[in-house]
Amino acid sequence: MYPSNEKIEVNVPKKNPFSMSPDPQLFYFSGQHVACLQTLESSIRLRSGLSVVLGDVGTGKTTVGRILMRLFQDKPDYIFRLILDPQFVDELEFLAHLSRLFEIKTKAQSVLEYKEALQSFLYFKGVNEKKIPVLIIDEGQKLNEPMMEIIRSLLNYETNESKLIQVVILAQMEFADKVRSMPNFMDRIAAAYVLQPFNEEELFHMIGHRLKRSGYEDMYRVFTKSALKQIYAYSHGFPRKAINLCHQAYLAKISEQLGIIDEDVLTRNMRRKEVSHV
């Protein structure tokens, strides 16, 4: 079901192996990322309501969201919508945003009217058209209590068998405290997954995978083993940090026409980063 990490097409055009954008092509399907995607996928398919993915900065939450949308992209029954930055001045703005996002035609002006419009939309889509709206909210730790109350009220809309909207919240760990202080919201969570940093082996696999995708079959022709170990030690297995470091060293390799990246090149680039506070 998930693309195999081993199945690399031949003649892949060379691209930056350490691009920071959440590029599904460069995604390494690690055990935990697959388990997380499976959890979300089945929760959505079973129409269980609310799923939450927690993880520290740079553990892959945004990328998981993109890949989840891709997994459903050829399934017309699902209507995916994404909120990248859920900061709204008040409930009205949040509701108006949701209505626009799902292209709901409404003359609503008040909170109540918007809620009614959303409710009829969800019933119409779910019951008449058998469609499944899915709302992904990234940076979920930015949600405040009134927004979470609105999400909770949307999750109240259901048929006998299932919820009429599926919500996936991707959030930093601190969101857990917020949720704990709102037991009614916590009750709604049907599935949860916590993304951890990679262990050393997984991190090397991820780097190897990114290099393969970019045309480098053997990662040991790009990094020495001890350079890789240093990347793990410095990044503590956090993908973003590791990729950032690989990227700096890779740029140096290209611009200075270096051979294999060894510990010296890495240390030099780590220092450069510290000096420039990047």
Ligand X SMILES: Nc1ncnc2c1ncn2[C@@H]1O[C@H](COP(=O)(O)OP(=O)(O)O)[C@@H](O)[C@H]1O
Chain residues binding ligand X by CB under 6 A are: 20, 22, 26-28, 30, 33, 55, 57-63, 206, 239-240, 243
For residue 215, the partner it binds in Mg ion, ligand X, none, with Cβ less than 5 to 8 A by kind, is none
User: What is the layout of strands, in order, in the sheet containing 189-195?
Assistant: 78-83, 132-137, 166-171, 50-55, 189-195
Residues 6+ apart with CB under 8 A from 46: 162
Question: Which of 27/250 has CB closer to ligand X?
Answer: 27
Q: Rounded to an integer, what distance in angstroms lies between the CA atom of residue 91 and that of residue 97?
A: 10
- Residue 28: name its binding partner from ligand X, Mg ion, none (Cβ under 5 to 8 Å by kind): ligand X
Cβ(201)–Cβ(31) under 8 Å?
no
Minimum CB separation of residue 52 from ligand X in Å reads 13
The type of residue at 148 is M
Strand partners, 213: none
Residue nearest to Mg ion (CB): 62
Nearest to 40 by CA among 30, 28, 54: 54
Report the residue number, 62 or 248, with the smaller CB distance to Mg ion.
62
- Compare residues 30 and 230 and give the one whose CB is closer to ligand X: 30
**58-to-145, 175, 241 alpha-carbon distances in Å:** 25, 15, 7
Q: Please, which of residues 32-61 interact with Mg ion by CB under 5 A?
A: 61
Residue 250 binds which of ligand X, Mg ion, none (CB < 5-8 A, kind-dependent): none
Length of the chain: 278
Angle at which helices 225-235 and 239-255 cross, to 10°: 140
Judged by beta carbon distances under 5 to 8 A according to partner kind, the member of Mg ion, ligand X, none in contact with residue 33 is ligand X
Residue 12 interacting partner from Mg ion, ligand X, none (CB closer than 5 to 8 Å by kind): none
Which is nearest to 162 in space by CA: 40, 41, 47?
47
Choice between 142 and 229, CB closer to Mg ion: 142
SS3 31: helix
- Nearest residue (beta carbon) to ligand X: 60
C-alpha to C-alpha distance for 219 and 260, rounded to whole angstroms: 10
- Among Mg ion, ligand X, none, what binds residue 49 when CB lies within 5 to 8 Å by partner kind? none
- 188 or 209, CB closer to ligand X? 209
| Binding-site member from 51, 62, 214, 269 for Mg ion (CB under 5 A) | 62
Residue closer to Mg ion (CB basis): 47 or 61 = 61
Residues that bind Mg ion (CB under 5 A): 61-62
